[in-house]
Amino acid sequence: MKTLVIVAHPSLETSVINKRWIEELSKFPEKYTVHDLHKAYPDGKIDAEKEQRLIESHGSFVLQFPIYWFNCPPLLKKWLDDVLAYGWAYGSGGDKLKNRKAALAVSAGIKREDYREEGRYRYTLEQLLAPFETTFLYCEADYRSFFAHYGTENEPGENEPGHENEPPGSLLEKSAQNYINFIDHL
C-alpha cells in the first residue's frame, strides 16, 4: 500500500526544504500520497472523518513539518486533536492506528550540534519529539522514528563535519534522496 505524507507547513510556497521533499515525493505517485493540510484546510476547519478515511486507505503515514518553537505548527496540533479521536485511534473500539507504521519528517532549522543535552538548547531532537512518539505508542501505532534535516533553509545541509564546503544545492538534493530512502524503509 501507498504511504500517506501529511504535510503541515504554514508557508510551503516560501519553503526550500519541505517544498523540495514534496517535489521528490511527487515523482513517485504510485508510492506516496502527499496531503497538504494548509491547502486542504485554509480555514483551519478539519474534516476529521475524511482524514481518518485517508489514513485508513494507506498502509503507513508520515507527518512532515518544520519545527516551530520546538514543536509542530498549530494546524498539525489541531489535526492530531481532531483526527486521533477516541473510538477511532484509541479507547473502546479505537484501533485504526494499531500496528500502522507512523513516522515523522522534520526540518529542524537549527544545527545538529545545538540539539544536544550539552548544546545550546539542552535537549536532543529525540527528546523534543517524544510527545509524538508517545502519542503513536498510546494509539498502538508502529512508530518508526523520524527523519530530520538540520540547518536553516538559507544554509541547508546536515551540518556535519566535512560537509562545510559542499554547495547548499547538493546538500538539499542529498536530503531529498535520504528522505525517500527513509520512507521506503519504514
Instruction: Please report the pLDDT score of residue 152 as a whole number.
Output: 64
> Taking 80 as the threshold, does the pLDDT of residue 59 lie above it?
yes
Instruction: Please report the pLDDT score of residue 154 as a whole number.
Output: 52
From start to end of the chain, where are the E strands?
3-7, 32-36, 60-66, 101-107, 142-149
Q: pTM here?
A: 0.91
Q: 44, 54, 37, 41: which is closest to 88 by C-alpha?
A: 54
Which residue stretches of 91-163 are H helix?
125-128, 130-138
Instruction: Please report the pLDDT score of residue 178 as a whole number.
Output: 96
Side chain identity, residue 54: L
Structure confidence by residue, pLDDT tens digits, 108-167 = 988 888 899 998 889 999 999 999 999 999 999 999 999 999 986 455 444 444 555 444
